[in-house]
Amino acid sequence: MRQVVLDTETTGLATSQGHRIIEIGCLEIVNRRLTGREYHRFLNPGRDIDEGAERVHGISIADLEGQPRFADIADELLEFLRDSELVIHNAEFDVGFLEYELRLMKHPQPSISDHAMVLDTLRLARKLHPGQRNSLDALCKRYSIDASRREVHGALIDAELLARVYLAMTGGQTALSLDEELTDVARIAGETAKRSRHAGLELKIVAANQEETAAHDALLDKIRESGACLWRDD
């Protein structure tokens, strides 16, 4: 299965105000392994960047001088996305901007669904963690993903973090290379466990002595003083 983790940075929050994409970052996953293939572009939006947006991603209009327009890279982007499942956090935002850009250039197929399927990891996270914060930052903390390199938002680094989060949310695999080190470790651990299960093996049972039992009972009494004690039925 081929998936593409995608993120964008923009001049502002709403296409209704004419805001545009200024950065696109994509990473390819095949059969739950990042392949190393990526697509990354900075884009000249042809308009100013809101101060609030610039504080978030740190990209100024001066940084984008000489960069291509979206229409210049649309075909190569769509080719990279073609026939994949897009993994996007808050997909409504990114897909909305992509389709807005395609409509502006009068592309014959402006709907992203004509090119790829979409999986929204924000919706997935809300199902898995109802009532909790499910921003990318919050999910990185929840799944112990190191986001220390992320001083500001950036499309490519956010795509990398999202890839790690998505793989952790959906099965725990967060490897970013093609090597089989983790697979080998799991295989060796499994073989070791199998070898340790000798037929007729008798486990030695060591009972608590009188002093240990008294200390345990005293601890349960202390717990019961502060409320119900699950380990006591008296």
- pLDDT tens-place string over residues 87-114: 999 999 999 999 999 999 999 999 999 9
Catalytic site positions: 153
Q: Which amino acid is at 124?
A: L
What is the residue extent of each domain of the chain? Answer: 2-181, 184-225
Quote the crossing angle between the two packed helices 91-104 and 70-81, to the nearest 10°: 130
Asked if residue 208 has pLDDT above 70, the reply is: no
Q: What angle do CA 219, 221, 225 make, to 5 degrees?
A: 115
Q: How confident is the model at residue 148 (pLDDT cuts 50, 70, 90)?
A: confident
pTM value is 0.73
Per the CB < 8 A criterion, the answer to whether 220 and 231 are in contact is yes
Check: CATH 3.30.420.10 for 2-181?
A: yes
